[in-house]
Structures are given as C-alpha cells and as structure tokens.
Amino acid sequence: MSDQLSTLLSEKRRYPATAEFAARSASTAALYASGHNWERFWESQAKTLEWFTPWTRVLDWQIPHAKWFVGGTLNASTNCLDRHLRGPRRNKAAIIWEGEPGDRRVLTYWDLAREVGRCANALKRLGVQRGDRVAIYLPMIPEAAIAMLACARIGAVHSVVFGGFSAEALRDRINDAGAVVLITADGGYRRGQVQPLKRMADAAMAQTPSIRHCIVVRRRGGAEGDEAFAEITEGRDHWWHRLLEREAAACPAEAMDAEDLLFILYTSGTTGKPKGIVHTTGGYLTHVTSTAKHVFDLNDEDVYWCTADVGWVTGHSYIVYGPLANGATVLMYEGAPDWPERDRFWRIVETYGVTILYTAPTAIRAFMKWGSEHPDRHDLSTLRLLGSVGEPINPEAWVWYYEHIGKNRCPIVDTWWQTETGGIMITPLPAVVITKPGSATIPYPGIQPELVDTKGNRLEAGGGFLTIA
C-alpha cells in the first residue's frame, strides 16, 4: 500500500454541512433513494429538459453499446437559452466576464440568445450544415460559449481546442475531426502577454485541407484588430463582428436526436496520441444539467465560478452546458490567478459576489504556498459552496481550502470524473453527505460502481476491475 493511500485511509476528520446550509439546500437524501432505480432516475432528470419529441425508451442497452432516450429529440441550445427567455431569467445575467487586463462584459440570457442566433446564422451563411465539424480555438472570452451554443443550435458538432495548445496540436485535432470552419481570435491575454492565436491558427491551417473558412474574433481591439496579430487571408478569413452584424438574431433550432453528436473533445495526449471523445446530445445534457443542479446546489441567486478553461471538459460541462441549462449566472475569467497580483481570484470573488467556486487542487496548493494573507484581505462572505476538480486533492489542501477560503462554513464537493464520462460521477451532495478530506466520497445518484472479473461477471468481494455504470 502506498504512503498516500495509507494516509487517505487513516484520515479521521469529518465535516458535515452547517445546519444553515442544510436547511436551505434543495438536495436531500431522497435523491439517493431515487437513484437506486437508475433507469427511472435518469428518466426523471431528463424530464427537467425541454424535448421536441418524447423518447419511446429510456435505455437500449446492447452490450457494449448504449442508446439513451431512444426516439427523443431536443436541442442543447434551446435548453440553455430559449426556455429561460419566457420568464424573469430573460433579463438575468447569464455570463459575467472579466478579461485579464480588467475589461468587463455582462450578457443577459436575452443578450446571449441573440448573439448565439447571429453566430448560428453566420455559420449557416458560410455553408455549415447539420453534422459538420467546427473547430474552436479561443481564449476564455464569451465568444467561446457563444460559438459552442451556435453550433449546437444548427446541429454542427463543435470541437474546442485549448487556446494554450501549439499550432501542431491544433492541426492534428482539426484534421482528425475533419472540421470545415475554424473560429479563433486575433489574440488572448495570459500573464500580461498576448497569445498570438491567429498566427498559430494560420500555421495550423497551412496543413488542414478540410478548413474552408476561418472566423476571427477581435479581442485585441482597434478598428479591424491588430494587424501584428491577425493577418487576414481574403476569401478564407472573416472578422467575427463583420459577419454577425448583418445577421438576424433569431435562428431556428434543429431538432436533434438524443443520440446525435453534440461535440468532440480530445484528450490531452499526456499518455499517448490524443483521442477524440464524442458526447451525444440527450444523455450528456441530462447528466450535466442534473449534476450541476444538485452537486453545486444551484439556485437563481447564485454567482457561479468554475475557473477551468472551456478547452477542457470541465469548461464544457460546468461553465457552459450544465450551469446555463439551469439558468445560472456564470462568471468567466480570462487570465492567470496571480496576475498582476496573487490576490486576483479573491478580488474577483469579492467584486462579483461569487457564491460557488469550483477550482483545481493545483491552484489550491498554489494559494497555500502564496499565503493566506491574500484571501484574508478580501471579503469572501458571499461564498457558500466550494468545489474541487481535475485531480485528487490531498487532505492538507482540502482543510486549508475549507478554513481559509470557506471560513469553516462552506461545504466542499470533491468531484471525480473524466473527459470520457462527460460529467461528475463520484461526489458528495453537500447537504447530505458528511465530507472527508481527500475523498470524493460516494457515487452520484444513478451511478453504480461494480467490481467485475475479466469476463464482466460481478464480484461480491476480492480483487477485480472497478467499473462504473
């Protein structure tokens, strides 16, 4: 047994939610009880979405292939936008954005829906059709979410590539997906430096024969962007703002089969060649909408901040689709946590009244190293829930996070999942499960871990393969 595992198993500290948090939480132990019949549970969660046509069968399970919500049709974009426009959420902030230089934007659900509609119409004008692949290579700006939702609206499959990746990595992902359009920017900011994204995109497109058009977001400013960062190739390249300004704000949404592709996202490639993971519309949207609602205990007053990048699955599921499907207010930040000062995150929490913070253990350990004087100089009293994602969190970092950021009153949801699952699989529900430092605790309702042998037979005890269904 490793020292790390031994330490985790011997951890005795436990942290129940405060009585005040538990009293206000919408999630109760009844959710776990309903999850015992997992097929019925996921059907109940799917019913929280809007469907054009209902499914005829919840699950068609032909090992190893599963089809969810057979015959049902829906659209991810309408579930994230249109259904919120019929009530008070219409004028609610959907995205609050802060750029690293300090520039700010707020998009209400009404604003976001109109921008998505214009982008969707622009893509259609460029010839993008249902099933076509669109690559997105952007910094952490609202246009990233707009582009994703616009693709979903017209049935195009988006493939987001992390803006920090090289031209070669972008090229390989475009070619593997067969993308016909690339959406990028004239630049982005990181630690005070401009990332020349368009230059990287140009280098990639020199070897991507499938690309017919490139749309360039003007992030650097100026009348037509900064020519030093965005050389425009006539006929292929188009400024985002020029395309969208002539488009109508309304765009009909495609009725997508529950099993139609929503997106392709490539693994990081740290253990070999990057693999394109595909997620379909109905099952994925049901999963992330449910987990975003119950794991983060979302309500209409929350300002929710997931510090991930949309280039990773965490950004797809818990910046864009999950929170917006729930009508949440999402904070997006472009830059580094320590630029220009090490209290940047805590200034953002104080400025915008963030109530839920979802970040990575690597960042938490950096905050520990930098010292508690940085969060201590800011009012973090609006925070009510903390989350951890991306890697195991060691007990020391967990406790520091709880004490110095959560002030001994905010539950921590330690979440385990991966690109392949699309959404959270193992986590505590904050008002129900007593949390333990270093432990993601138990499966989310409707998730069933099983120990099996090499032939897939269930084992009651002993060694075997851990599977999750």
> Looking at 30-34, 62-66, 424-428, 444-448, which range is the least confident one?
62-66
Please tell me the distance from the alpha carbon of residue 121 to that of residue 77, in angstroms, as a whole number: 14
Helix (H) or strand (E) holding 235: none
Beta carbons within 8 Å of 228's beta carbon, 6+ residues apart = none
- β-bridge partners, 413: 387
DSSP state of 317: I
> Looking at 63-67, 139-143, 157-161, 432-436, which range is the least confident one?
63-67
98, 136, 189, 211, 441 from 336: Cα distances, Å: 12, 21, 9, 31, 30
pLDDT of residue 272: 78
Helix (H) or strand (E) holding 95: strand 93-98
Phi, then psi, of 59 in degrees rounded to 5 = -145, 130
AA letter at 230: A
Helix H, strand E, coil C: the string for 154-194 is HCCEEEECCCCCCHHHHHHHHHHHCCCEEEEECCEEECCEE
Nearest to residue 338, comparing CAs of 309, 303, 297, 366? 366
> Looking at 42-51, 111-120, 272-281, which range is the least confident one?
272-281
Nearest to residue 141, comparing CAs of 167, 104, 113, 110? 104
Residue-wise pLDDT tens digits, 249-277: 999 999 999 999 999 999 987 777 899 99
Nearest to residue 258, comparing CAs of 420, 400, 118, 73? 73
pLDDT of residue 450: 87
Is the pLDDT reported for residue 53 higher than 80?
A: yes
Is the pLDDT reported for residue 279 higher than 80?
A: yes
Please tell me the distance from the alpha carbon of residue 390 to that of residue 211, in angstroms, as a whole number: 32
Residue with tokens 């699309």: 422
Is the pLDDT reported for residue 83 higher than 70?
A: yes
> Looking at 48-57, 100-109, 220-229, which range is the least confident one?
220-229
Is 95 exposed, middle or buried, given 0-12, 13-18 or 19+ CB atoms closer than 10 A?
buried
Residue with tokens 């070897």: 207
pLDDT of residue 270: 73
Contact at 8 Å (CB) between 282 and 274? no
pLDDT of residue 224: 54
Residue with tokens 């998505």: 116
> Alpha helices of 353-439 — where are they, by DSSP H?
361-370, 373-376, 395-400
CA dihedral sign, ordered 236, 240, 242, 243:
positive
Please tell me the distance from the alpha carbon of residue 362 to that of residue 13, in angstroms, as a whole number: 22
pLDDT of residue 223: 53
pLDDT of residue 4: 64
